[in-house]
Structure 1
Amino acid sequence: MPVDPTLRALDIDLPAQPAVLVQLSLLLAEEAVDFKAMGSLIEGDMALAAAVLKALNSPIYGLRQPVRTVQQAIQYLGSNEVAAITYEMGLRSVFPAARELDALWFRANRRGMVMALMARRLGLNAFVAHSAGLFEECGKAVMFRHAPQRYAPILQASPSDDLLVLQEMQAFGVSHDALGAALCETWTLAPAAVTCVRYHVVVQSGGTWPDKPDARPLCALSAVAHYLLRAPEAVETAVRASATLGGLDEERLLEVAQDAHAVLRAA
């Protein structure tokens, strides 16, 4: 999908998708993923491969023994898990290393993980759910990359994302949810993930949900993940508010949300 002309007029550059992710998306689109080709592709970028292996060997994945190669990681965890982490490392690589973004990347990692976990348990596409969670706040990184000195104080001082988008509109004429969705489009993420990123702020604040049935379950997972990360005591309320709108069974969603909470606590 083309980038909104309004965003082009604002002169805010969207970082190009790393070539390895473009090629990886083509491999994942195949009916039967070639694991060997996937491993060789990722390992061809030494910096990316090192970052992927470092992430996969962290305690959160609970591997009994360290993995030494990407091919080994694929055998242990599966192609979707390794692809998801590769996308995370690839996304981070196009933005500056800055302490102002550390909390954003931490939440992106955890959100992607729990949304994928819940999606898998609910019979939804786990890779698409992980992508939606990973990219949810990426518009903030785009904004920071564009104007770090102007944006950093706004980002740090805002108490919530619904207030942040108003401040962003006043300062830049665009909000991070729109920028994030534009980046997702240019990086050819699944349409449901793009919609979830675009609507995550209004969904989480109790606003209007998108009129796109394929995206609504992801929006429900996004809302639940938001509370798992920021206010776990309110997760049950979030589940009740989101299940019907997302077309999901309330009891089942609560069950998988509780499982995801246990994983987060263990991590």
Structure 2
Amino acid sequence: MPVDPKLRSLNIDVPAQPEVLVKLSLLLADDEVDLPTLGRLVESDMALAAAVMKAVNSSLYGLKGRVQSVQQAVMYLGTREVAAVTFEFGLRAVFPAVPELEPVWQRASVRGLLMGRIGQALSVDPWGAHSAGLFEECGKAVLYKHAPEVYQPMLASSANDMELVEREYEAFGVSHDSLGASLCESWGLGQAAVASVRHHVRVNALRQLPAQAPRRAICALSALANALMTDPDSLEEVAQHVAPQAMLDQTLVLRGARKVQQQIEDATARG
């Protein structure tokens, strides 16, 4: 999908999708994804294979035994979570490997996992939810790559994302939420994930889902994940606000979110 012409006029480059992600996207388009083929695709790139192995053996995934091969990782994690690790690897690969962006990638891993698993618990497009979580802050990396000397102090000193987007727009004429959505589009993510990335700042700050967004439930999952990551005590209040807007049952939403939270906490504790 072409990048928004307005961004071209601002001379801000949205990185192209890496070749391995193009191949993965074609593979995921098949309703019956062949797991051995997925494993071979991952194995074809040594750096990607290492990233998948590192992820599957991390505390976040909470597996009891150490996984020894990519094919094992695919079988243990399944298509969605292996695909998510691959997309995360692809994101990291096209941006500078700098300490300033490391918190962005760390939050992306956790947020994607939370959104994907809550989506799975609620039967809300788990892959769309997981990818939306991974890409939510990627526009920050776009702006950092575009103008690191300007953006680094802005990123470090902004109190929250609402303040940050205002400063971004003043400095660049565009904010990271819009840039992130454009990158999602150019990399072929679904429209529900694109909408969640585009609106996440206002959703998380105001708990108001955009009326025009497809699959508003994914935006709701963004708000739930944000609550779990920043203020777990606010989870029930957030669910009260967003569940009705997304036509979701509040009780089921809370149950699903807390179950996933407990899973990840238990996995991290086992370390």
Range into which the TM-score falls when normalised by the shorter chain: over 0.9
CA distance in 2, matches of 1:62, 1:232: 21
Kept after mapping to 1: 8 A contact 2:4/2:182:
yes
Structure 1 runs (4+) greater than 3 angstroms displaced: none
**What is the Cα deviation at residue 215 of structure 1?**
2.7
Q: 1:120 to 1:208 in 2, by over 3 A?
A: closer
List aligned pairs for 1:157-236, cutoff 5 A.
Answer: 157-206=157-206, 209-212=209-212, 214-236=214-236
> What is the rounded CA distance, in whole Å, between the counterparts of 2:37 and 2:256 in structure 1?
33
Higher-RCO chain (CA-CA 8 Å, sequence separation at least 6): 2
1:243 aligns with 2:243: yes
Match of 1:49 in 2: 49
1:194, distance to aligned residue in structure 2 (A): 0.4
- Mark the runs of 5 or more structure 1 residues left unpaired by the alignment: none
Give 1:24 deviation, angstroms. 0.5
Instruction: Report the residue type matching 1:37 in the other structure.
Output: T
Query: Quick check: 89-98 or 163-172, which moved more?
Result: 89-98
- Aligned residue for 1:222, secondary structure, equals helix
Between the aligned partners of 2:213 and 2:98, the Cα distance in structure 1 is 37
Distance 1:238 1:213 in 2: 19
State the Cα deviation string for residues 156-193 of structure 1 (Å, max 9, x = none): 10111111100000111100000000000000001100
After TM superposition, give the deviation of residue 207 of structure 1 in Å.
6.6
Give the counterpart letter for 2:224 in structure 1.
V
> Are 2:209 and 2:242, in contact at CA under 8 Å, matched by a contact in 1?
no
Aligned to 2:59: 59
1:213 is displaced (CA, Å) by 5.6
User: Is the 1:110–1:264 contact (alpha carbons within 8 Å) kept by the matching residues of 2?
Assistant: no
Which residue of structure 1 aligns with residue 30 of structure 2?
A: 30
Q: Is the 8 A contact 2:239 2:250 kept in 1?
A: yes
Other-structure match for 1:111: 111
TM-score relative to the length of structure 2: 0.95
Question: How many correspondences in the alignment?
Answer: 267
Q: State the secondary structure of the residue aligned to 2:3.
A: coil
Q: Structure 2 CA distance, aligned partners of 1:263 and 1:101? A: 27
Change (3 A) 1:63 1:265: closer
Shift of 1:37: 1.4
- Partner SS for 1:162: helix
Ranges in structure 2 where 5+ consecutive residues have no aligned partner? none
Opposite residue 256 of structure 1, the aligned amino acid is G
Using a 3 Å threshold, how does the CA distance of structure 1 residues 195 and 109 change in structure 2: closer, same or farther? same
| Corresponding residue SS for 2:206 | coil
Q: What is the CA deviation profile of residues 101-133 of structure 1, one whole-angstrom value per residue up to 9, with x for unaligned ones?
A: 111111111000010110000012211110000
Change beyond 3 A, Cα 1:230–1:52: same
Residue by residue, what CA displacement relative to the aligned partner does 1:219-251 show, whole Å, maximum 9, x if unpaired? 000011111111111111111111011121111
CA distance in 1, matches of 2:192, 2:57: 30
What secondary structure sits across from 1:205 in the alignment? helix
Q: How does 1:139-154 map to 2 (within 5 A)?
A: 139-154=139-154
Distance in 1 (CA, whole Å) between partners of 2:209 and 2:248 is 14
**Separation in structure 2 between the aligned mates of residue 235 and residue 255 of structure 1, nearest angstrom:** 11
CA distance in 2, matches of 1:205, 1:188: 27
Paired AA for residue 263 in structure 2: V
TM-score, with length taken from structure 1: 0.96
CA contact (8 A) 2:51 2:85 kept: no
Contact 2:220 2:243 in 1 (8 A): yes
Structure 1 equivalent of residue 12 of structure 2:
12
Q: For residue 261 of structure 1, report the CA deviation from its aligned partner.
A: 2.4
RMSD over equivalenced CA pairs, Å: 1.3
The percent of aligned pairs where both chains have the same amino acid is 51
